[in-house]
Structure 1
């Protein structure tokens, strides 16, 4: 199936849900981050949400690749929050991501990688103390030179939130990624502590962090992040059928209200333990490629209506 036809078909599938906000991202760690964020206590007056995000990793040396490797990423998302009743909320969302890889020919890396994901999240706040979230996120991730059943990745997740006090919330859950070779089960465990209205301290895997609301319009944050997404390959010359890019990050950034309906975010940080990992190798195969640690930057715009 051609890429434009695929994306159009998934948009039609989204509309079939009748009411598509933020559900799940394009990697298990991103999905865990979303589930760790509880839904708003009141329905959003503007339930539709559209966001655009870009990230950039400047070229870093790689002895394994025989030169320097750079990365760029673009994401776009569309969704809508749907209130079922006072305790239940449904959030479908469609997201598309594209990763561009700049590397020497000898590295045998794909030039572009894509993922298209349809996420569906259900939030149930039983009472003031306890709530939980469930999600299902099927998607297609690969080089899109061809698309088959092996390109399909499905993520399932559940998380429970128990507020022992107004300031302390305990988290426990997991993400299961069908089709993944590495970390098919990603646990979510920890706590979130809010000493006052401005500070939020998250001591929870896989995304610990702290944020401070400097003003009602400006929030600062410092986070630890883990990222890893697998893609299906359809190029015989690469010597493998699946590739995974993985890194760990320390990120600092700011989020502020640019206008009544527009929110912007700028973040920068340092990525380490960076690696391209290859699975299902054949013929001559493909060794894993390690990249030097290095900085990265990220920017996003979010529109609600």
Structure 2
């Protein structure tokens, strides 16, 4: 959840993962463990670089799976441990498009939440991951993300948080970032969440169905070992042994259906409004600003 980000929308850089405040969610609320599987895909407009290069569109498909368990330390303190795997497949020829055909992340994280008073809580999250291109595991893709936040429940309907984020694989200017966000629930039906990786408005139809309009982020920073762009001319090609920051901003709608208290099905669709592949330590970037469709499906089982 705390992947490295570098995107033109600087505002998104200072928003926290607001899911940890009080984002709407009912799936298995009283159950400590859960398994989540996600799949989806998005097409892209033509990719361009800053040197006049034009490349065809690159379709990105995505699969992810995670397993988490929440341990109750005291009546109000908890520790949640989670292991996850995420993969992006890029439908392009790495020889002529300077992108790998696969990116993957294997991660383990722990999140501690501890009360500091009637309204204040401390949240600390530590995530260790290996993110690289290809199918193997590369030690150069080892990264650590840390989040420290103060959570404040101002009223029964409004909560906010502020703190600091650190991401070891990020570009130097983006390793340390402030984090702010809020969650507002004026009644049982409506909820407004502002944060990263999701900002949106949610409407609850009934105990089983809710809908959302939202902006979300997808991506991460990956170590690329194998050469890409070997058929391209220029002193910067081929690219290898470098870091690639992939970021994508999506705007759309989501429908969530809960056929059973322990099962939640989610479907999202909309448009990708910005896509970027940035080799920031090589000063080379591919981007697409065209709006293209995406779809995402997920299932969560709590136990």
TM range (shorter): 0.7 to 0.9
CA distance in 2, matches of 1:51, 1:36: 20
Counterpart of 1:232 (choices 223, 232, 236) is 223
* 1:57 positional shift: 0.3
Name the structure 2 match of 1:191. 182
Name the structure 1 match of 2:9. none
Name the structure 2 match of 1:290. 287
Is this contact kept in 1: 2:16–2:195, CA < 8 A?
A: no
Kindly indicate which of the two structures has a greater share of residues assigned to helix.
1
SS in 2 for 1:35: helix
CA deviations over 1:220-275 (Å, ceiling 9, x no partner) = 11122234411001113441411111122213101120224211101112222211
CA deviations over 1:190-223 (Å, ceiling 9, x no partner) = 3322111111112446643211111011111112
Is this contact kept in 2: 1:154–1:179, CA < 8 A?
A: yes
Aligned positions, number: 277
* 1:186 positional shift: 3.8
Q: Does 1:270 align with 2:271?
A: yes
Is this contact kept in 2: 1:132–1:161, CA < 8 A?
A: yes
Structure number with higher relative contact order (C-alpha < 8 Å, ≥ 6 residues apart)? 2
Q: Does 1:50 align with 2:51?
A: no
Name the structure 1 match of 2:247. 246
TM-score by length of structure 1 reads 0.81
Name the structure 1 match of 2:146. 156
* 1:59 positional shift: 4.4
Once superposed, what is the RMSD of the aligned Cα atoms?
2.7
Query: After the TM superposition, which of the residue ranges 28-37 and 272-281 deviates more from structure 2?
Result: 28-37
Gaps of 5+ in 1: 1-23
Name the structure 2 match of 1:18. none
Counterpart of 1:96 (choices 85, 90, 103) is 85
Is this contact kept in 2: 1:94–1:119, CA < 8 A?
A: yes
SS in 1 for 2:170: coil
TM-score by length of structure 2 reads 0.82
CA distance in 2, matches of 1:37, 1:230: 27
* 1:147 positional shift: 3.9
Distance 1:103 1:40, change over 3 A: closer
Name the structure 2 match of 1:20. none
Name the structure 2 match of 1:166. 156
Distance 1:71 1:133, change over 3 A: same
* 1:35 positional shift: 2.9
Name the structure 2 match of 1:120. 110
SS in 2 for 1:32: coil
Counterpart of 1:75 (choices 64, 83, 87) is 64
Gaps of 5+ in 2: 6-12, 229-237
CA distance in 2, matches of 1:254, 1:220: 5
